[in-house]
Structure 1
Amino acid sequence: MKTRISQLRKERKVTQEELALAVGVTRQTITSIEREKYTASLVLAYKIAKYFDLAIEEVFDFSEVGD
């Protein structure tokens, strides 16, 4: 799933490690989500969106999710 996490992190000068600590996962998890190798759970997606003070849809692209 495509996300804007990397872009948002760079705009706000947040490292993968800082984001990971803030949302309770490992840096590797953030890396995997950014590289589209792992899809975040709904709870994790909510935490990441909340961290950036955005709606989930503003961070994650659901346009390719199957019907």
Structure 2
Amino acid sequence: MRSVFETPADAALALLNSGQAFTRKAGSFLGQVVVDDTPLSPKQREWLVTLLERAGQPPLTIGEDR
């Protein structure tokens, strides 16, 4: 298992591949993070961090989003 995720896209892809059940909204958000290289807003980053925590996944690194 990873110790941290270096990019939001890596984290989102890991969540989608984890087998966890996500709401349609969360799944759509994660898919968008994987394919869109636009930097995350602070609120989007917070949501991704929350999803990682709930799934028991490693955290994001601190710093740049992409």
The higher-RCO structure (CA 8 Å, 6+ apart) is 2
TM-score normalised according to structure 1 size: 0.48
TM-score normalised according to structure 2 size: 0.49
